[in-house]
Chains A and B, each alone.
Chain A
Amino acid sequence: MKVKIKSWMGVATWRWIANDENCGICRMSFENCCPECSLPGDDCPLVWGACSHCFHMHCIVKWLNSQPNSQQCPMCRQNWKFNIQ
């Protein structure tokens, strides 16, 4: 029997590959966005530090802005540096 495909529709799912399930700042799961956003994905991205800890970008930026005297990871207190992947 021969089958001729006339058309097809691809469906894909995505997820963040983070070393943790929740953001340590807002404690929402990484599958969800930070509490300030409504849709997960590119609009509410995750970022990693050089220390390998991962947060919603909006959350870590808020944390760093609230700490005028030191820029430390809220998890391990190492100096925070964005890990550009």
Chain B
Amino acid sequence: MANMAVSRIKREFKEVIKSEEIVQCSIKIELVNDSWTELRGEIAGPPDTPYEGGKFLLEIKVPETYPFNPPKVRFITKIWHPNISSVTGAICLDILKDNWAAAMTLRTVLLSLQALLAAAEPDDPQDAVVASQYKHNYSLFLMTARHWTNAYAGGPSRFADCDQKIQRLKDMGIDEHKARAVLSMENWDLEKATESLFS
């Protein structure tokens, strides 16, 4: 990797390790290999959001042209959010695309992602299904996002109704994640979910 990318990532790594947010356990960063090209990030779900209490893992790939191009970041932990694909974890955030600036760092990227969890932009969606639920059925969106935070990120809220419906589909031989995804997409309408799975 180019000289500047490695030396900068090393410095930034130290900067994140020493930062205030680490002390508060709100962000974290780890090396994946010795080449400094791939890192693992972690952000805590912000308080007063459906992601509260969850820990979300991120895949961070540092391009050779860093910091002149942004790092490639994606959620590894499954999450229900209008600007994050519920299928691939791809993120729609301007600073990771056209609005990147060389003065931004891993720390500011992680903090921006945390801010994105607290303030979704449903009019600029990465996941149109989630965005539509957010706009047209906000209370159902909140429940689904909390349920996913519990199922995948260790969040505290359990919903017996969701678990029961997932179990019904599992009894029909459907994989748990697939059952959860289809029910979430169909606004937890068991009949519609079954229909879309078997038609």
Contact = CB atoms under 8 A, between A and B. Distances in A.
Interface of A: 24-28, 34-36, 59, 62-63, 66, 72, 74-75, 77
B12 interface: yes
Interface of B: 3-4, 7-8, 11-12, 65, 67-69, 101-105
Given A72-B101, A75-B101, A66 B8 contact: no
A74 B65 CA distance: 15
Nearest to A67: B68
B68 A62 contact: yes
Given A26-B8, A27-B12, A63-B68, A35 B103 contact: no
Majority secondary structure of chain B interface residues (helix, strand, loop or mixed): loop
Nearest to B6: A35
Nearest to B9: A27
B3 A24 contact: no
Nearest to B68: A66
B103 A75 contact: yes
B171 to A, nearest CB: 55
Given A25-B67, A27-B12, A63 B102 contact: yes
A26 B69 contact: no
Contacts of B102: 24-25, 59, 63, 74
Which 3 pairs from chain A and chain B are nearest by CB? A24-B103, A66-B68, A74-B102
A63 B102 CA distance: 7
Contacts of A24: 102-103
A77 B101 contact: yes
Nearest to B65: A66
A62 B65 CA distance: 10
A73 to B, nearest CB: 8
Contacts of B104: 74
A21 B108 CA distance: 19
A83 B105 CA distance: 25
B8 to A, nearest CB: 5
Contacts of B7: 26, 28, 35
Contacts of B101: 72, 74-75, 77
A58 B77 CA distance: 39
A77 B3 CA distance: 25
Contacts of B105: 27
